[in-house]
Chain A
Amino acid sequence: MLAPLVDSIVLNRRRRARRHRLVIGLLLVLVAATFVLTLLLGQSFTPPRDILRTLMGEDVPGVAFTVGQLRLPRAILTILAGLSFGLGGVAFQIMLRNPLASPDIIGISWGASAAAVFAIVVLGLSGPIVSILAVSAGLGVALLVYALSFRNGVAGTRLILVGIGVSAMLESVIAYILSTAPAWTLQEALRWLTGSVNGAQLGQTLPLLVALALFGGLLLSRARDLEALRLGDDTAAALGVRVGRTRVLIIIAAVGMIASATAISGPIAFVAFLSGPIAARIVGNNGSLLVPAALTGAALVLVGDYCGQFLLPSRYPVGVVTGALGAPYLIFLIVRVNRSGGSL
């Protein structure tokens, strides 16, 4: 009697898993294609053969600089930052069951950005120590926002409002630090206020890669528990998830990724916020959002940076492009949430 039912469930599961793999595959292709495009086509076209020879280590005149020094570091940094923002953002959104609870809205990105700009401008530091400070500050802000919104338990919406307040403060702290800096330039200000991958160097990508591997691996290893948390704390606990421990691990992992990326590229506006909901639209109800959201983040930053550099009438840092793109979506999302009280 049960056999047909079981069969249909199994079939359904297989179909959904296939769909999930298909989505991930398509997103991978998209990211790879954009990556190749940004290598090939900048101010001038570089033939693929020359790029391959450069990547092999040959010294091709002209191309070695354009591709090796300019385009390649930038493209790699862009992808890593996008993956970090996408993955970190969606982890927060799933855990707090609210798309508005993304790290760039509740102030965590701003904390990392403020720490990075403080370390660079005031303390004169550079290199991995900046990332470490940014991660610590991000964790500190996460803790602060959580503590400030704690009152007979944490109401999700109070957390978001407190986060908005904290963001506003940190933003003015950044503006303050920059205004006391001896060489205050618009480019530098925009990096720390909206995010930019201008002037990327290959050396910067290594700490980011390490952070992504470490924290991203930690997060993905908890993917199943995170999915359970989505059903609510009580249900998750009943399913055997240690809610408190899982939550702490996820916060550390997500903040680690977001803050490491922010320390190098600045808080690229809305990527952490946008990736999750967009991925949710594509994936539907067919499985985990983590990997699709990370890939969506990478695609967003790649495409945004390419548009900002070459497709728009003047050159914009990537954060301005994603900001102008993400802002209407944020409003749309609020309209939808207000109408239905729905989630991601």
Chain B
Amino acid sequence: MRPAAATARSVTAPAGRLRRLRALWLLLVAAALLVLVALSVAIGTRDVGLGDITSALGGKVETIGEAAVAMRIPRTFLALLAGAALGLAGAIMQGVTRNPLADPGILGVNMGASLAVVVGVAWFHIETAHAYIVTAILGAGAAAIFVYIIGSLGRGGATPLKLALAGAATSVAFSSLVIAVVLPRADIAGGVRAWQIGGVGGATFERIYPILPFLAAGFVISLLSARKLNALALGDELAAGLGEHVATTRAVAAFGAILLCGATTAVCGPIGFLGLVVPHLARLLTGSDHRWLLPFSALGGACLLIAADIVGRIVARPAELDVGIVTALLGAPFFIWIVRRQRVRDL
């Protein structure tokens, strides 16, 4: 019951001290992010010297070392964006559904985006980067609505259990369909693996630029809904009593999260569990006030994804491990821990 404890602390502690504490944490996380970005550029499958790194940052790609570093720069940038987007989307989804197990991966949203892109490429010959992204966002949205409808059938509405089960089942279903669609089409970029397990390897700035407007819109919408999510956290009746349009708030915030997930998945493929882990860790640091939680989740997500990517480059040398594998290995135990922590009544 950490969130409750944190809230209790926020009630008892003087407001100023709490704000200073949170600001301090925010600085620390931002500093950690800078360090990780530096490490991500410096560390990789190939060991490079400091000279190579500085000259590559200056734009030179003459030696192999410089070329390696030059490839790591867009990759790090993509990991930063994708991590922030998924961390933030996870926090939003947990807020919107008031469900500790919500995560773009577990709820099948990322797989929905993945499936939509694969179907679009294989059957409808979509080619431009924008078409990819829009298709992914549509797929993410459709999957989110689908899972929410299935999860809220029957007694009690969308309980954590039902939503998680519906999402996991949908995820498995979509992932089978992705294999079935991609397998006979060797020509689809990246093949089966890229659409099953997300990764940031092989990123280029040309592939990243098109998603920037969508991510920007997603970040803005998500961050602006912080105050309304705080009201939702009190429960639907109380939020309505406070003058919130509960359904509209949910829809708008969810739309922001779907933009983030869809755009990220269009470039990286489905990356799971990040959106689950990050908001829980962020809550330990800041408490459950969404105005702090959301920025923390974004920063923390970026940190975690970059760190996971660095780990993936080191452990499987000379090969590389897709970051989606690393996040699942780290995130699944966390998922089990949350499931265990829930009271029996909820499960």
A-side residues, CB < 8 A to B, are 100, 148-149, 151-153, 155, 157-158, 160-162, 164-166, 168-169, 171-173, 175-176, 179-180, 186, 189-190, 194, 269-270, 313-316, 320-321, 323-324, 326-328, 330-331, 334-335, 338-341
Contact = CB atoms under 8 A, between A and B. Distances in A.
Closest 8 CB pairs of A and B: A327-B173, A323-B176, A314-B184, A169-B332, A172-B328, A338-B154, A165-B335, A165-B336
Interface centre among B153, B174, B191, B316 (most CB of A within 10 A): B153
Contacts of B342: 158
Nearest to A182: B319
B179 A320 contact: yes
B328 A169 contact: yes
Contacts of B197: 172, 175
Given A165-B335, A341-B155, A334 B166 contact: yes
B176 A194 contact: yes
B179 to A, nearest CB: 5
Given A164-B165, A314-B184, 12 more contacts: A157-B165, A161-B164, A161-B347, A168-B335, A169-B332, A175-B322, A176-B325, A194-B176, A316-B180, A320-B179, A327-B173, A331-B150
Contacts of A166: 332, 336
Interface in B169-222: 169-170, 172-174, 176-177, 179-180, 183-184, 191-193, 197
Contact of B150 (A151, A153, A334): A334
A162 B192 CA distance: 27
A238 B183 CA distance: 53
Contact of B184 (A157, A180, A313): A313
A339 B321 CA distance: 41
A320 B183 CA distance: 9
Contact of B161 (A152, A161, A168, A172): A161
Contacts of B165: 100, 157, 160-161, 164, 334
Contact of A335 (B153, B174, B183): B153
Interface in B223-272: 272
Contacts of B191: 186
Which of A172, A190, A321 neighbours the largest number of chain B CB atoms within 10 Å of its CB? Answer: A172
Interface string B322-347: 10111011011101100110101001
Contact of A324 (B180, B320, B325, B340): B180
A338 B336 contact: no
A324 B175 CA distance: 9
Contacts of A164: 164-165, 168, 335
B290 interface: no
B154 A340 contact: yes
Interface residues of B, number: 49
Contacts of A172: 197, 324-326, 328-329, 332
Contacts of A269: 176
Interface in B147-168: 150-151, 153-155, 161-162, 164-166, 168
Contacts of B168: 164
B154 to A, nearest CB: 4
Contacts of B339: 149, 158, 161-162, 165
A121 to B, nearest CB: 13
Contacts of A340: 154
Interface string B263-298: 000000000110000000000000000000000000
A162 B170 CA distance: 17
Contact of A194 (B170, B179, B322): B179
6 contacts: A148-B336, A151-B340, A172-B328, A186-B192, A330-B172, A338-B153
Given A162-B340, A186-B191, A331 B322 contact: no
Nearest to A181: B319
A155 B347 contact: yes
Contacts of B319: 179-180
